[in-house]
Structure formats: C-alpha cells, structure tokens
Amino acid sequence: MSEKKRIPVVPSRLKLLNEEGTEGVLLGVRCRRCGEHFFGSVVFCQNCTSGDLGPVELSNHGTLYSYTIVRRPPDGWRGNVPYILGQVELPEGPHVLSEVVDCPLEGLKVGMALELALLVGGEDAEGNEIVVYKWRQAKP
C-alpha cells in the first residue's frame, strides 16, 4: 500500500512547501497585458480576455472584506458547525473565500488583517489528507 500523503485541496490554488502540509503558498495568474491577478486558474484574463497570462505566487495575507457565520452547511462540509466564512481581499486584488479559524466571534471586524492557515479539511478516496487554505487573525 502506498503511504498516505497530504495534498492541496485545489492544486492550481495552493502549493504545499513541506510534506506535513503546514507550509504553503496561494497560487494564481497575472495578466501580462492589463496586470490583473486571479486566484487559481483562468484560461483567459477575465478583465481584458488576453491569453498572455503567467503563473504567480500570491500573498499569504489579506484583509477581511466580509464575513458570515454558517449555521447549517451544505453536504460535503467536514469541519466544525457553525463556522466563520470569511471573504478575504488579497493585496493583489483577488478575493479568497474560506473558513476563518481561531477567532472569537466578537473579534470579527470588516477590514481586519488575516493570514493564511493550512489545515486538514478531509480525506480523498485513497485516504490522503486534503489540506485546505483557511484564514486566521494575523499576528501583530
């Protein structure tokens, strides 16, 4: 039997930098024509439709654009209930939606600084652990 591995939830959005999956970087593309950045993969630039795109590593921090507390998730969610869903704006522009962890509800504030947190969010059919990009309050 092959050994269980830690794998990124969507390889075009997250690259893991160690086997434990505790370090990683968010991935995206940058349009060489208009300069816009996109999280994950796009085939053509969503802004100017240029096909002249290059891969980039995006920041591992951003600010909280909006948030909600999900009380009843749809099927397929394996984490805690309720959970905080944050919409985080990266310095490059793209918004990244994911759970905000280790944050008391009363500490949530639009505009607050957040940083990337990598946590196991589930398993695939082969038993590999799927690492999901999440957010936590940035250390001051």
Cα torsion 44, 47, 48, 53 to 10°: value is: -40
Task: Rule CB under 8 A: choose which of 5, 6, 7, 9 binds another protein.
Answer: 9
Report whether 123 contacts 79 (CB < 8 A): no
Q: How far is the CB of 49 from Zn ion (least distance, A)?
A: 7
Asked if the bond preceding 82 is cis, omega within 30° of 0, the reply is: yes
Q: Which does 33 bind (CB under 5 to 8 A by kind): Zn ion, another protein, none?
A: Zn ion
Residue 96 CB, nearest approach to another protein (Å): 9
What is the residue-wise DSSP string for 40-83? Answer: S--SS-TTT----EEEEEPPSEEEEEEEEEESSPPTT--S-SSE
Of 59-118, binders to another protein (CB under 8 A) are 65-79, 83, 85, 87, 89, 93, 95, 97-99, 110
Binding site for another protein (CB under 8 A): 9-10, 36, 46-47, 65-79, 83, 85, 87, 89, 93, 95, 97-99, 110, 121-122, 130, 132-133
